[in-house]
Amino acid sequence: MQQNDNCIFCKIVQRRIPCDKVYEDDSTLSFMDINPASEGHTLVIAKAHFASLLDIDEASLVAVAVASRRLARAIQAALQPDGMRVGQFNGAAAGQTVFHYHLHIIPVRAGQKVGSHGRTPGQPEAIRQVADKIRAALASPGSQDAAR
């Protein structure tokens, strides 16, 4: 698997930097954003390093898409937002701040103004509690993704 020693997401994949992980499979890792745009802001990344949509291989792209849907369903079950913003940015001019392919899943409540990125660090304990709720939804017997 290709990695970049200067990439913060590669360091998370390598367990050199901690994260509040909510889901992992052979190709993807999902964890809570430490600067959440809203409660439940989750990132889904390819484990292999690809800078952007223009660089990612097809198998990794499909794996991120499948994991994103799985996470979106769990976030819906756990937090019951009115909607979800799913975003992916390519290049600094488009708002990409970490140059490792990833998707943002941002739960949104009716009337809530939510940006694409959070501006300030979230409260670590509150983020952990939300991660617990999402993990529980993934593991629930009613979840079609519980066995994964």
Positions marked catalytic: 102
Q: Which residues contact 12 (CB under 8 A, 6 or more apart)?
A: 18, 19, 29, 31, 45
Nearest-5° angle of CA 72, CA 88, CA 144? 20
Burial 34-57 (b: 16+ CB within 10 A, else e): eebbbbbbbbbbbbbbbbbeeebe
> How many angstroms separate the CA atoms of 28 and 9, rounded?
11
User: Tokens 């901690």 label which residue?
Assistant: 18
Residue 140 Ramachandran class (φ > 0 left, ψ -120 to 50 alpha, else beta): beta
- Residue pair 64/46 in contact (Cβ under 8 Å)? The answer is yes
